[in-house]
Amino acid sequence: MQFVELRSDTLTRPTEEMRQIIARAEVGDDVYGEDPSINQLEKLAAEIMGKEAALFVPSGTMANQIAAMVHTSPGDEIITEVTSHIFLYEAGGLARLAGVQTHVLKGERGMFSPDELEGAIRGENIHFPRTTLVAFENTHNRAGGRVFSPEELAPHLEICKRAGIATHLDGARIFNAAVALELTPDIIAQDFDSLSFCLSKGLGAPVGSLLCGSAEFIREARRTRKILGGGMRQAGILASAGLFALDGAEERLARDHQLARVLGGAIEKMENFRLEFPVESNIIVSRYLGDKPIQEIVALLKEKGLLVNPFGPASIRLVTHQDVTQDEVFRAAEIMGSI
Q: How confident is the model at residue 253 (pLDDT cuts 50, 70, 90)?
A: very high
pLDDT at 1 over 90: no
Mean pLDDT over 221-242 rounds to: 97
pLDDT at 70: 98
Domain total for the chain?
2
Which residues, in sequence order, are CB contacts of 72 under 8 Å at separation 6+? 78, 98, 100, 132, 133, 166
Percentage of the chain exceeding pLDDT 70: 100
Mean pLDDT over 248-265 rounds to: 97
| Together in a domain, 109 and 181 | yes
Question: pLDDT tens digits for 261-285?
Answer: 999 999 999 999 999 999 999 999 9
Instruction: Give the residue numbers spanning the domain of 32.
Output: 16-246
Question: pLDDT tens digits for 185-215?
Answer: 999 999 999 999 999 999 999 999 999 999 9
Q: What are phi and psi of 264, to 5 degrees?
A: -60, -40
| Together in a domain, 238 and 270 | no
| Together in a domain, 267 and 294 | yes
| Together in a domain, 310 and 216 | no
Percentage of the chain exceeding pLDDT 90: 99
The CATH number covering residue 170 comes to: 3.40.640.10
d(CA 64, CA 141): 15
Question: pLDDT tens digits for 15-72?
Answer: 999 999 999 999 999 999 999 999 999 999 999 999 999 999 999 999 999 999 999 9
Question: pLDDT tens digits for 99-141?
Answer: 999 999 998 999 999 999 999 999 999 999 999 999 999 999 9
pLDDT at 207: 97
- Using the 3D structure, point to which of 226, 246, 266 is the last residue of a domain: 246
Report how far apart, in Å, the C-alpha atoms of 313 and of each of 84, 239, 288, 289, 295 are.
18, 39, 10, 11, 9
